[in-house]
């Protein structure tokens, strides 16, 4: 850590020295017709590599210029571009205020932009700038997604240290974790609305992805402490255009995509966008394949000068062969061929998810805005395949013999969200305020049908006789039908108070009430078992932000979240929720005219009342628990982003995390929690040639490091001679390369992933894991119109 900090410090000094060699500077301010500063406007010095992005006040500064005349172009989405001529004849020139006129033919960008890297995340709800936010936040831009030719959430997360894929259960989902905590469907969002993450996510409709690390409970209620992910889908535009393309690659990948947008009619008040894709592919694993269909239509209505309406739909249908792997015997990793599949060939996981969201925005007055979101979502899944290796009754023997069983379950969920937010900026005396207050209600209606698992056949994982595998699909009897309605209500208020330009305080609190019910109908006995659990909690948040300059920020924060608990105490009463405390301090820097970002964050997350099996009176029923455990997560994160010219962009980061039991009646104090690497790191670069014989060519690389972590199961101290143990998995480094060439309206691109063909594993169960994909490629041809 010391060496890394020294390297960063030396690099910053070098960049500062190099920029100081030329001393001519231009400073200016860009505003709209109401004299309001435009944040995120682009200012370009033509015929040079100099540019800037305006800050929240609309101001910009460009340094390192020579004494001569320049043509400057100023542009902002939704406004007419403006060109001005400037002659530099002194060290610093302050330009007259630059006014941009609104262009009704273009839709203002819905995502509020900050600097070229530090975009303000929509997930903050209040529009708080990254430098004013007392927590770590990252926005993966559309440009990065396109440059890196991403094809999965795994690809996108190669840019987010400390947020990673911890597992790929059955190969039909990507399980995300952050800071030692699992980010399930409660922590994953699309356009601010929870979406079901238990299936693969199609990336062709993604505009950008936001990651808020740490607690976001004040904004969203019952979420894990590690953070939230918010996917922003592509939005309508008033200028007509689009793309069509086709991608092919390893494992017989075939994927056509389309994206078209434009105005409806001549009124310039209604716009649309419709994008989608179809993908079919095999796998590097024998007998494994997938098929995905995706559509994402949206419409934007400019009802009047103060009111807009955005209507979005999102549909995905995904079918793929479940693959639970088979790589562990007696808590030891065994060497199997990478391509070897030992599941049933006929197995399938069918999943569909459809969502519709209406977002109404209304400007009540200057600096006051009201947002109403109404969203419905439905998903249904059916899993019919073999059970996981090493589950009860299906342990793999030392000689490789495995008695396979078959499982089947079906699930469906109807979800409704209604959310109303009021946000505004105002002053009281010497204090400035950026206020957010809101209310939300959520209703889940989930039903899960489980069948009785049955014994199927015996195979040997070391020598699978595929030709003689049993291939008939058995009849199965229904076991239980579980109905689990959940109702959640939240009320929250938050205020960013500024004493001056240098000291700010973010404070807020949320009240959440949750009613969780469960009704289990057992078919064999025709009986119902009904339970109700009522939880409520206050989750506060406090943050102090010190800003010695407009491009530097130092913060310290405390936040609290809660986690509901299943099971009962020794007296049969429902368990209280576990409350989780998080402390975080950090430094954020935007240097060299906001071309370089250098951020450092240190955090500690403590769940001091973790639910664990009660040992009172010799109890062994794992459903009877007590709040006696404690888990603590500590870590540090470093993020660096640098764009020295408009042609070159660099991203890098490092994360250290340690999540362990600090108090427990079940495990060993000090034991690490499974699945979480201590170290992750990333570095990527992309360079675009803009002149000469190579004009139109882009080259890039993406490198990731994933540290050692553990599979298996933690040893239980209360079990005599317990056979459970942790299984260490080695660290690995992965390298991807990209190449793209654009000629007129055509772009030909290619990507080579896992260049060094490294072998490692994704953990998806205590005693089973899947190898990561070997070296593979994809190529695409795209036409832009």
More confident residue, 14 or 681: 681
Whether residues 238 and 94 share a domain: the answer is no
Query: Mean pLDDT in the chain?
Result: 89
The CATH number linked to 402 is 2.40.170.20
Q: How do residues 259-288 score in pLDDT, each as one tens digit?
A: 999 999 887 899 999 999 999 999 999 999
What was the pLDDT predicted at 92? 79
In a domain, 475, yes or no: yes
Q: Is the pLDDT of residue 13 over 70?
A: no
* Confidence (pLDDT) at 78: 64
Q: What per-residue confidence (pLDDT) applies to 49?
A: 65
* 576 within a domain of the structure (yes/no): yes
3 falls in which pLDDT band (50, 70, 90)?
A: low
**130 is a domain residue:** no
Please compute the mean of the pLDDT values over residues 467-476 and round it to a whole number: 92
Does residue 209 form part of some domain? no
Helix, coil or strand: residue 737: strand
Confidence class for position 416, pLDDT limits 50, 70, 90:
very high
Reply yes or no on whether the pLDDT at 569 is more than 90: no
DSSP line for 69-94: EEEEEEE-TTB--EEEEEE--SSEEE
Residue 242 corresponds to which tokens in the numbers above? 């689009």
- 207 belongs to a structural domain: no
Tens digit of each residue's pLDDT (9 = 90 or more) over 474-516: 999 999 999 999 999 999 999 999 998 899 999 999 999 999 9
For tokens 């075939």, name the residue. Answer: 254
Q: Model confidence over 555-566: pLDDT tens digits?
A: 999 999 888 888
CB 535 within 8 A of CB 562: yes
Cα angle 406, 408, 409 (rounded to 5 degrees) comes to 155
Could you tell me what percent of the chain has a pLDDT over 70? Answer: 94
Number of domains in the chain: 2
Residue 5 has pLDDT above 60, yes or no: no
* Largest Cα span, the chain: 91
Q: Is residue 162 in some structural domain?
A: no
Helices (H) and strands (E) in the chain, counts: 4, 45
Least confident window among 5-19, 52-66, 462-476, 644-658: 5-19
Q: Are strands 24-31 and 92-94 parallel, antiparallel or unpaired?
A: parallel
- pLDDT for 119 equals 66
Return all residues near 406 (Cβ < 8 A) that are at least 6 apart. 344, 384, 385, 386, 387, 453, 454, 456, 474, 476
pLDDT interval class at 694 (50, 70, 90): very high
Among 103, 130, 159, the domain-final residue is 103
Residue 775 is assigned to a structural domain of this protein: yes
- The CATH code of the domain that includes 25 is 2.60.40.1120
CA 177 distance to own-chain centroid? 10
Joined tokens for residue 607: 């769940």
Q: What is the pLDDT of residues 336-382, one digit of tens each?
A: 999 999 999 999 999 999 999 999 999 998 899 999 999 999 999 99
Q: Which of 376-380, 625-629, 776-780 has the lowest mean pLDDT?
A: 625-629
103, 127, 150 - which closes a domain: 103
Cα gap 60→46, rounded to integer Å: 16
**How many Å apart are CA 179 and CA 655, to the nearest integer?**
9
Contacts of the segment 1-9: beta carbons below 8 A, 24+ positions apart? 1/636, 1/656, 4/638, 4/654, 8/598, 8/638, 8/640
Q: What is the pTM of this model?
A: 0.86
Element (H, E) at 17: helix 2-19
Residue 97 sits in the same domain as residue 237: no
Give the helix/strand (H/E) hosting 517.
Answer: strand 503-522
Q: Report the C-alpha gap between 40 and 118 in whole angstroms.
A: 10
> Is 88 within 8 Å of 70 (Cβ atoms)?
yes
151 CB burial (10 A radius; 0-12, 13-18, 19+): buried
- pLDDT digit string, tens, across residues 201-225: 999 999 999 999 988 889 998 888 9
Asked whether residue 24 is domain-assigned, the answer is yes
Position 17 scores a pLDDT of 42
pLDDT in tens, 505-519: 999 999 999 999 999
pLDDT tens digits for range 162-191: 999 988 888 899 999 999 999 999 999 999
Residues sharing a CB contact under 8 Å with residue 392, sequence separation 6 or more, in sequence order = none
What gap in Å lies between CA 65 and CA 49, rounded to an integer? 10
Look at residue 7 in the predicted model and tell me its pLDDT: 44
The Cα angle at residue 389 between residues 349 and 471, in degrees rounded to 5: 55
Distance CA 487, CA 6 (A): 51
The whole domain housing 265 covers 233-784
Q: Does 313 share its domain with 456?
A: yes
Domain finish residue from 73, 103, 133 = 103
Residues in the chain: 785
The per-residue pLDDT for 767 is: 66
Cβ atoms of 749 and 779 within 8 Å: the answer is: yes
């Amino acid at each position: 850590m010391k060496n890394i900090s020294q390297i960063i410090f030396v690099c910053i000094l070098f960049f500062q020295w190099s920029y100081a060699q030329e001393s001519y500077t231009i400073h200016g301010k860009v505003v709209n017709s109401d004299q309001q500063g435009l944040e995120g406007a682009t200012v370009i010095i033509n015929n040079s590599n100099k540019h800037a992005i305006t800050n929240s006040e609309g101001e910009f500064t460009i340094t390192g210029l020579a004494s001569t005349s320049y043509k400057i172009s100023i542009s902002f989405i939704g406004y007419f571009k403006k060109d001005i001529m400037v002659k530099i004849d002194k060290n610093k020139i302050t330009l007259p205020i630059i006014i941009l006129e609104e262009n009704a033919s273009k839709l203002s960008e819905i995502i509020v932009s900050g600097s070229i890297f530090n975009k303000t995340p929509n997930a903050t709800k209040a529009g708080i700038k990254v430098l004013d936010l007392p927590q770590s936040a990252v926005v993966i831009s559309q440009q990065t997604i396109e440059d890196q030719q991403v094809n999965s959430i795994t690809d996108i997360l190669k840019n987010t240290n400390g947020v990673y894929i911890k597992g790929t259960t059955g190969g039909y989902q990507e399980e995300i974790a952050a800071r030692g905590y699992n980010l399930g469907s409660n922590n994953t969002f699309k356009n601010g609305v929870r979406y079901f993450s238990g299936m693969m996510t199609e990336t062709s409709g993604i505009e950008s992805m936001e990651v808020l690390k740490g607690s976001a409970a004040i904004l969203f209620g019952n979420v894990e402490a590690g953070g939230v992910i918010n996917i922003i889908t592509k939005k309508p535009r008033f200028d007509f255009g689009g793309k069509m393309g086709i991608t092919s690659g390893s494992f017989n990948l075939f994927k056509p995509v389309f994206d078209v947008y434009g105005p409806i009619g001549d009124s310039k008040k209604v716009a649309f966008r419709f994008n989608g894709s179809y993908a079919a592919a095999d796998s590097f694993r024998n007998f494994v394949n997938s098929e995905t269909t995706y559509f994402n239509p949206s419409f934007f209505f400019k009802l009047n000068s103060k009111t807009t309406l955005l209507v979005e739909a999102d549909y995905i249908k995904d079918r793929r062969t479940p693959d639970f792997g088979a790589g562990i015997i007696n808590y030891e990793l065994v060497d199997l061929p990478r391509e070897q599949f030992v599941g049933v060939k006929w197995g399938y996981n069918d999943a569909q998810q459809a969502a519709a969201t209406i977002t109404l925005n209304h400007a009540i007055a200057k600096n006051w805005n009201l947002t109403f979101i109404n969203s419905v979502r439905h998903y249904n899944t059916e899993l019919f395949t073999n059970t996981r290796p090493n589950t009860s009754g299906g342990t793999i023997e030392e000689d490789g013999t495995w008695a396979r069983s078959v499982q089947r379950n079906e699930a469906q969920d109807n979800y409704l969200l209604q959310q109303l937010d009021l946000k505004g900026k105002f002053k009281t005396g010497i204090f400035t305020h950026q206020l957010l207050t809101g209310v939300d209600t959520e209703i889940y209606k989930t039903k899960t049908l489980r069948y009785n698992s049955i014994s199927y056949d015996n195979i040997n994982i070391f020598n699978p006789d595929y030709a003689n595998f049993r291939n008939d699909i058995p009849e199965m009897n229904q076991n239980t039908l579980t109905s689990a309605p959940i109702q959640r209500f939240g009320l929250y208020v938050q205020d960013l108070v500024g004493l001056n330009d240098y000291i700010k305080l973010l404070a807020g609190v949320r009240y959440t009430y949750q009613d969780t019910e469960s009704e289990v109908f057992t078919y064999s006995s025709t009986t119902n078992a009904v339970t109700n659990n009522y939880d409520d909690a206050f989750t506060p948040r406090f943050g102090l932000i010190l800003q010695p300059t407009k491009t530097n920020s130092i913060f310290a924060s405390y936040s609290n979240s809660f986690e509901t608990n299943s099971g009962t105490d020794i007296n049969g009463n429902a368990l209280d929720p576990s409350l989780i405390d998080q402390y975080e301090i950090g430094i954020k820097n935007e240097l060299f005219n906001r071309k370089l970002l250098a951020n450092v964050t240190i955090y500690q997350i403590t769940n001091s009342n973790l639910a664990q099996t009660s040992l009172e009176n010799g109890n062994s029923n794992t459903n009877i628990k007590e709040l006696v455990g404690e888990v603590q997560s500590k870590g540090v994160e470093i993020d660096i982003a640098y764009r020295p010219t408009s042609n070159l962009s660099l991203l890098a980061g490092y994360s250290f995390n340690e999540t362990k039991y600090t108090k427990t009646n079940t495990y060993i104090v000090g034991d690490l929690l499974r699945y979480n690497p201590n170290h992750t790191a990333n570095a990527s670069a992309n360079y675009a040639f803009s002149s000469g014989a190579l004009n139109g060519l882009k080259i890039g690389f993406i490198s990731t490091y994933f540290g050692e972590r553990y599979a298996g199961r933690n040893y239980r101290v209360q079990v005599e001679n317990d056979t459970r143990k942790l299984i260490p998995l080695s660290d690995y480094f992965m390298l991807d390369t990209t190449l793209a060439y654009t000629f007129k309206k055509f772009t030909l691109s290619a990507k080579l992933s896992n260049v060094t063909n490294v072998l490692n594993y994704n953990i998806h169960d205590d005693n089973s894991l899947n190898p990561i994909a070997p070296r593979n490629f994809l190529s695409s041809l795209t036409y832009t119109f």
